[in-house]
Chain A
Amino acid sequence: MTDPLIEAIVEMDEDEALRIVNERVAANEDPMGILDCGREALTTIGELFEKQEYFLTELVMGGEIFKGVAAIVSPLLKSEGAPSKGRVLMGTVQNDIHDLGKNIVVLMLEISGFDVLDIGVDQTAEDFIEAINEFDPHVIGFCGLLTVAFTSMQKIAARIEEAGLRDGRKIMIGGSQMDDHINKFVGSDAFGTDAMKAVELSKNWCEG
């Protein structure tokens, strides 16, 4: 890690990160290059999370700094980014309105190169099916913090199967209460209790 911008973000030094970004914008540096530094920093934060050196607070704070960087740089971007690694549909399931975990997963998937459609919280089977038809995702992620989410997830997975939309797609479930028992109960392909697991699963499934 030699770039001072990456270092500032990874060290959670927001003031320094934004100072460097403003300095580089004023010096007419390539905005895409600046944004790439932000992405690389979040990837490093994700790696530190996997090593259990960083935790939820650093994922949130890193995301917060990244949003600040993107807010300065995004209006200056002219070209499209790199090709997508795959499409991931994300939503918190019916009867659950928690979105902190989902938002972190969405951010980490996006910075990892996935095209993500986030349909929000308290989403029914019909909401997911409509989104599958429109977005044609490779991976579908059900999020839920509450135990009531288990049953919602099971119902939504069954409805997706009934609608003939399961073939060729993978379903992952995420939330702090998920375990192997619930994975089997829902009929999903895998479960995760943190954001990096969602990135790892999506990479494995989309890159084959």
Chain B
Amino acid sequence: MKKPPEELYKERHGRYEDAIQLKEPDRVPIVWSDGGSYFPAKYVGMPIKDAFYDEKKWFNANKQVFVDHEPDMCLSPHFFSGRVLDLLGDKTGKWPGSAAGGLGDDDPPQYGDPDGMRADEYDAFIRDPSDFGLRKLLPRMYTALEPLEQVVPLWKLAFGENPTQLLRAFAKPGVADALKALVEAGAESERWVAESELHEEELHELGLPTFGWNVVMPAFDIISSPLRGMEQIAVDIYKQPAKMLEAVEMITPLLVEMALDEVKRSGHRNVYVGTYWGADGFMPLKKFEKLYWPGFNDLISRLLAEDLTVFVMLDGSYSSKMHFLAELPQGKIACFFDIEDIPQAKETLGDTHCIGANLPPSWFQALTAEEVREETKKLIDMGGKNGGFMICTTGLSESADPTLVKTCIDTIKEYGVYKK
């Protein structure tokens, strides 16, 4: 007989908590994250376009995936409303169903490098990121918000300037339309957020624990996107490292504020830290130590000091950085590695941090069911010893074969059991 949802919730959450606390649960926990892909759309047979234009369908597709695979923790699905992007006239992405066209209904979205911040604008950004965001970044990212370039710096509001003089800027051509676009996009956003909250409640009622959608990136990665773009970052590392560091120091405490705001809203004390530029292959270790590590370490330390559970998604190999990661303060922290790094991570960090493994996308497109089974067992053998280990489905993509995904999950549930 199937256990009641409350019992299942407790059991699954306990499994996840045990691993985070470096204990040995009854089996290796499975954390479900679509990693920003549209696997759920493909899974239920709906066009990817619907993931952008029909919030009920999109969250139901995700629910179906969760219900069928019964993970121990569900990272809440990402969502982008196509209508919000249409209303704002997003300039950096293409998505299926977009008013601007360009993609088929079943094509995955594409995101290019931003035209966010120019090389000579670090000082303006550091001085007042709100002003920079409103009058520079938004007009560059969204066609409908281009008129906002004409708005006065809002810090003037705090200085008691005569409003009759100050507010003239809001009468400039196009500003009213830009504000109208923001209001309409805001209403649309509310619908999606409300649906996501409903979706989370439904999952809880089904006995499925959720993580929330509290996502931050280290300041260095924020400077890369949405601000400078990958190519420009590589040049900035050599041409203006001091400005980058100054920006990192300014951004990091604000990221913690952002995370705490979301904790307050959702009630979840979890935060997901996505990383990009820290991986091996991007910059020499000396540059990493000087430019990336201080902000990254500061962010994680501050989040742990707030007693949050921190998921660090280490995208790419970190094999040369293990000794840095070992310096992170102990706390409720899980570091998720690509599978090649698992043996080294387990050896170096296994006593202090929970180790998570990201499943590689190639398994679900290029292997047979038998090969997936064998690879999954090997992964559990590599990382599972003595607990403190979990597996995350981040590598899923819309091209993943659902049968192979099921094979992998079933193998974790069978082979990942700890013998008591």
Seen from chain A, the residues whose Cβ lies within 8 Å of a Cβ on chain B are 12, 14, 53-61, 64, 95-97, 100, 103, 122, 146-148, 150-151, 176-177, 179, 181-182, 184-185, 193-194
Contacts and interface: CB of A to CB of B under 8 A. Distances in A.
Contact of A181 (B107, B280, B282, B363): B363
Contacts of A95: 107-108, 110
A181 B283 contact: no
B362 A185 contact: yes
Contacts of B284: 53-55, 57-58
Contacts of B280: 55
Contacts of A59: 234
B322 to A, nearest CB: 15
Given A58-B284, A64-B234, A148-B108, 16 more contacts: A14-B238, A55-B281, A57-B234, A57-B237, A59-B234, A61-B235, A95-B107, A150-B365, A150-B366, A179-B360, A181-B363, A182-B366, A184-B366, A185-B365, A193-B281, A194-B281
B270 interface: no
Nearest to A94: B107
Contact of A61 (B234, B362, B397, B398): B234
Interface in B379-419: 395, 397-399
Contact of B237 (A54, A61, A96, A100): A61
Contacts of A61: 234-235, 237-238
For the residues of B in contact with A, the DSSP-based class is loop
Contacts of B395: 147
A150 B399 contact: yes
B367 A181 contact: yes
A148 B283 contact: no
A44 to B, nearest CB: 15
Contacts of B112: 97
Contacts of B94: 97
B108 A57 contact: no
Given A177-B362, A181-B366, A182-B366, A57 B287 contact: yes
A189 to B, nearest CB: 16
B110 A60 contact: no
Nearest to B108: A148
A60 B399 contact: no
Interface residues of B, number: 34
Given A14-B239, A54-B284, A57-B287, A179 B362 contact: yes
Given A61-B238, A181-B362, A148 B282 contact: no
Contact of A96 (B110, B287, B361): B110
Contacts of A148: 108, 397-399
14 contacts: A14-B239, A55-B282, A56-B234, A56-B282, A60-B234, A61-B234, A97-B94, A97-B111, A146-B108, A148-B397, A148-B398, A181-B362, A181-B363, A194-B281
B281 A56 contact: yes
B356 interface: no
A177 B397 CA distance: 12
A187 to B, nearest CB: 11
B82 interface: no
A148 B316 CA distance: 17
Given A56-B283, A148-B399, A12 B365 contact: no
Contacts of B361: 147, 150, 177
B230 interface: yes
Nearest to B361: A147
B51 to A, nearest CB: 14
A57 B238 contact: yes
Interface in B71-128: 94, 107-108, 110-113
Contacts of B360: 177, 179
A182 B365 contact: yes
A39 B397 CA distance: 39
Interface in B224-239: 230-231, 233-235, 237-239
